[in-house]
Chain A
Amino acid sequence: MEYSVAFATEVDSWKWAKRAEELGFSTAWFYDTQLLNPDVFIGMALAAHETSRIRLGTGVLVPSNRIEPVTANAFASLNRLAPGRIDFGVGTGFTARRTMGLGAIPLKQTRTYIERVQKLMKGETVEWDFEGQKKKIPFLNPEVGLINVEDEIPLWISAFGPKGQAMTAELAAGWLNFGATGTGEAL
């Protein structure tokens, strides 16, 4: 069983990610909670620059807060900094949306978002609807090497209910569970 650490993202989180790497931790996960902590991708970028082995993941990203190409760009940029060490952890916006007085995102919307981000991160073209229009969008020049669309970025989903877990399974994603009780029943 691998062991990992999660941080309430700070600009200094990289120092502890580096120490966790030295200690043999598998992954450093970073919260995406925009009204509570510094930006998740800034924290991860610093960690990517300062570490060499430990995996780095969003734990978990909130779909509604960034449009798909922006999210895919952030991951592909991280993947350039830390090739093959990046994890795409995502949920329906549990805390980050609640801090804005909003509920979770519908699963169908979450799934569409995930699938678009995944395709973009692989250098593929997606059908993207935005501002009432449908547009085809890919990264335009990934071959230049400024971003990394070659190394896989595994998907992890935080899913509490049966429908979310079914989506996790259908997308063949890793599953993120939270809590110290009822762990066996949940799995």
Chain B
Amino acid sequence: MQAAWQAAGQSSELKSNLFFLGAVLTGNEEEDNARLMAQAGPGTAVIFHNFADEMGAMGGQAMPEGPLSNLIAAYLEQRDKYQPEDAKYLQNHRGHLMFVRPEETHITPELVRATSMSGTRAELVERLQEVKRQGYNQVTIQVVHGHESAVEEWHDVFSAV
């Protein structure tokens, strides 16, 4: 983005804002898994929703290689079962950024942790300090329906960056 900014001849500083879902973890595995799935899981689910949209019903033929390829293939099979037949996109996006649907069993706490801004307070402070060093001048936590009180914990994290 900085290259585009310079190419356009802009002399002012680029304003950049990084949005993310995430969870502030406690060190208690059971509690943390619940937080990951509820507060950050919906963002991880969107990765798969988007692949399903972009690949369509025969998407498996265009499957990208990578660590998520098996999971994406499994989700595409799931997506092919959605009804109505001519509007599979409806179920594909139900709950977008709000909840993980029951059939989305490929969304696990481990996967969510690897694909979101999640960690202990100390880990998050360190990650966000790196984001700050990269040059972002604003960060935005995308809180999830029913878990808005997480702003209290995120305030604590942000204040320490």
What residues of chain A have their CB less than 8 Å away from a CB belonging to chain B? 1-8, 10, 13, 15-16, 19-20, 23-27, 29, 31, 33, 35-36, 59, 95, 98-101, 154, 156, 159, 162, 165-166, 168-170, 172, 174-181, 183-184, 186-187
Contact = CB atoms under 8 A, between A and B. Distances in A.
Given A3-B138, A187-B135, 13 more contacts: A1-B138, A29-B19, A36-B98, A59-B140, A101-B87, A156-B15, A162-B4, A169-B1, A179-B20, A180-B21, A183-B134, A184-B130, A187-B16
B8 A166 contact: yes
Nearest to A100: B89
Interface of B: 1-2, 4-5, 7-8, 10, 12, 14-22, 43, 46, 49, 53, 87, 89-90, 92-93, 95-98, 115-118, 128, 130-132, 134-145, 148, 151-152, 154-155, 158-159, 161
Contact of B17 (A16, A23, A176): A176
Contacts, number: 158
B38 to A, nearest CB: 13
Contact of B117 (A159, A162, A180): A180
Contact of B140 (A4, A10, A36, A100): A4
A99 B161 CA distance: 36
